[in-house]
Amino acid sequence: MNPLARFVSGRERLWQWGLRASVSVLLALGLATPSRADGPGKAQPPGFDRELSTDRPDVTESPRTVPRGRVQIEGALAGAAFDRWRGPGEPRSDRYEVGGFNAKLGITNHIDFQAVFAGWTVVREASGTERRREEGAGDLSVRLKWNLWGNDEGATALALLPYGVIPSGKDGVGAGTSTLGLAIPFAWDFAEGWSAATMAEFAWTDPGGEGTVGWLQSASIGRDIGRDVGIYVELVFECTDGTGSATASAGAGGTYAISDDVQLDGGMNFGLTRDAVDWNPFLGLTVRF
């Protein structure tokens, strides 16, 4: 085997080892965590046993927060993005990510703090005979979700989710510039076992420089299948360059509740326009403590 092949093979083994280690650690922690504080007679704060609600796997965020005093880790175990359907002269790209996660802390019964760490990322681009490869850790985002209503009762829920992206990732892997944004997610349980959700998001990229305003609009429909399984379909429209020209994509996926505080998810997003990523498979695991 030539040196280049050995190098690539070694990186692939490291990626696979990292995925197995992430799954094992999160599952061990989750299965060892009780769904309530120890002691049958111990008083719990309001909402402590709220049904698990996550911001993944779909693009549309949940308007419901983590209960006060609890920690929730939403792990992106593995994901990939393949962009092959490009115009003449434009590079094709592949992106692989492993180990990213969103760490949430319930501050009050209606507010949680979130720190989103992008995982280890490998980016490969090809244009004609030219090849480029970059790898490293991605950016850090901080977010604060404020549920306005619907955390514990009612058929609808609404939240405000302001956030900031810190360009801490390696050049060619991270965004390369800071971003300030606001997402407004809304959910509606409109029938037994059926739910709908939508989200409007606005982002100001490079606020200290020229600045570009982007937006995103998403909508999804979810269906519970029994007690432990859920499925969804979703449409997403997004503009990131400030021109008003939007990309469109569709997604589908599902969740499986291993316990009240551990949930596995997976799915696939598909590009509907030329500028959207062609396909994006992903796998995730959420653990609440």
What structural domains does the chain harbor?
3-34+48-288 (2.40.160.40)
For the cut 80, the answer to whether the pLDDT of residue 116 exceeds it is yes
Helix/strand/coil (H, E, C) string of 12-28? HHHHHHHHHHHHHHHHH
Q: Model confidence over 119-140: pLDDT tens digits?
A: 899 999 887 778 888 889 889 9
Q: Model confidence over 165-216: pLDDT tens digits?
A: 998 887 778 878 899 999 999 999 999 999 999 999 999 988 767 778 999 9
pLDDT given for residue 28 in this prediction: 57
pLDDT given for residue 168 in this prediction: 86
Q: 162, 143 in Cβ contact below 8 A?
A: yes
Least confident segment among 9-18, 91-100, 168-177: 9-18
Reduce the DSSP state of residue 11 to 3 states and report it: helix
pTM, to two decimals: 0.82
Phi, psi of 5 (to 5 degrees): -65, -40
Q: Model confidence over 40-92: pLDDT tens digits?
A: 556 666 678 899 999 999 999 999 999 999 999 999 999 999 987 666 667 78
pLDDT band of 15, cuts 50, 70, 90: very low
Rounded Cα distance between 16 and 120, Å, is 12
pLDDT given for residue 126 in this prediction: 84
Reduce the DSSP state of residue 128 to 3 states and report it: coil
Residue 243: both structure tokens together? 């021109």
